[in-house]
Structure 1
Amino acid sequence: MKSISLDFHFKSPIEKVWFALTDSDTLSKWMMFKENNFKPVVGHKFQLRMEPTGGWNGVVEGEVLEVDEPHRLSYTWVSLGERNTVTWTLKQHEDGTTHVHLDQTGISSEQAVNGAKYGWQAMAKQLEGVLAEL
């Protein structure tokens, strides 16, 4: 199995970044999934939904595995027959900015790795804009 690790730096305090990663309404503003029922509660099962595209129903299903507010969030990411684990690790710097490390594990192919990298990088740019408005 393959995995990705990405690092992002946001000019926002850790509490704002945590809120953007865990609040259902805010998630829909920066993720490509416009509908979701996410809650940062261990064991909560959720769906992320977008318009179906070319053979994909547009649904990711997940279950929250770990919540350590505001430092760590982990959940399963199940779509197209793949079951991955997504883990966000947040660290606030002395200047008030936040470093975010993202791991996604359990990816089956290089094509899926490339798609995940592209998707997370695009969504991180959207997240930066949303954080500026919070």
Structure 2
Amino acid sequence: MAQNLTPLGEIHRSVGHRKIVRGEGRSAVLRRHYSTSIVDVWRACTEPDRVSRWLVGPEGDLREGRRYVLPEHAHGEILRCDAPHTLTLSWIYEDYPADELELRLSPAADGGTILEVEHTTVDEPAALAESLALVGVGWENGTDHLEQYLRGDLPDAPRRAKQEPSEDETPRITESDRLWRKIVASALGSGY
């Protein structure tokens, strides 16, 4: 399946700055194209039955100002919802302080959709590079599954909460990790 995905070189990766509730943060930013409408991508990212096909089914009251849970992934609050363009969530994993996740959708010139995922953290400097690389790789892998789902290449059944990468996904994840670490090191100037 991985060979049918967007080539890694066509996925935009960067490190950004963004102020979140916890303060000034740094973010892993991922931008990619989907060959379907904004409404279709939005629904795949916000409707529980559809989210469960490529990520894991969200639980809770999925309205702005309310709380959600992604079993074995994260939990938090829906901070902002401007359908079908922007969704902002607090993102709490285990007992770590809240990060923020923002999904931004815009029209592509070909009638498809550009999805930008920005995961922002206010980590300690010693942990920042590793955190940004990990969330970058994680969201890239997640958006690969979203691409497969939108194309109809995933089983019509909910994903298990924590799934190990398949054999054909492993080389792609390894290369994604290498790319993210290089981008993060360049952006932070840390020699990471």
Normalising by structure 1, report the TM-score. 0.84
Larger relative contact order (C-alpha < 8 A, sep ≥ 6)? 1
| Alignment match, 1:122 | 141
Q: Return the alpha-carbon distance in structure 2 between the equivalents of residues 120 and 27 of structure 1.
A: 14
Determine the structure 1 residue equivalent to 2:113.
98
Report the alpha carbon displacement of residue 36 of structure 1 after superposing the two structures with TM.
Answer: 2.1
- Structure 2 unaligned blocks of 5 or more: 1-24, 154-192
RMSD: 1.8
Structure 1 outlier segments of 4+, above 6 Å? none
Q: Residue in 1 aligned with 2:41?
A: 17
Distance 2:122 2:150 in 1: 29
Identity %, equivalent residues: 25
SS of corresponding position for 1:128: helix
| Counterpart Cα distance in 1 of 2:73 and 2:147 | 24
Rg (Cα) greater in structure: 2
Q: 1:9 to 1:39 in 2, by over 3 A?
A: farther
**Partner SS state of residue 118, structure 1:** helix
In the TM superposition, residue 93 of structure 1 has moved relative to its aligned partner by 2.3
1:42 aligned partner: 64
Task: Assess if the C-alpha contact under 8 Å between 1:72 and 1:90 holds in 2.
Answer: yes
Q: Which amino acid aligns with 1:63?
A: E
Go from structure 1 to structure 2 and tell me whether the alpha carbon gap of 1:93 and 1:59 turns closer, same or farther (over 3 Å shift): closer
Give the corresponding residue for 2:30: 6
Shift of residue 38, structure 1, vs aligned partner: 5.4
**Secondary structure, in 3 states, of the residue corresponding to 1:127?**
helix
Mark the CA change 1:40 to 1:97 in structure 2 (over 3 Å): closer, same or farther.
farther
Pairwise CA distance, 1:59: 4.1
Moved more, 1-10 or 16-25: 1-10
Tell me how far 1:68 sits from its aligned partner.
Answer: 0.8
Equivalent position of 2:103 in the other structure: 88
- How far is 1:105 from its partner? 1.1
Q: Deviations over 1:40-59 (max 9, x none)?
A: 4111201101xxxxxxxx34
Q: Distance in 2 between matches of 1:30 and 1:103?
A: 18
Which structure: greater helix fraction? 2
Residue 25 of structure 1 and its aligned partner are, at CA, apart by 1.5
Rounded Cα–Cα distance in structure 1 between residues aligned with 2:34 and 2:68: 26
Q: Where is the strand percentage greater, Structure 1 or Structure 2?
A: 1
Displacement of 1:27: 1.1
Asked if the contact 2:85–2:104 (Cα under 8 Å) also holds between the matched residues in 1, the reply is yes
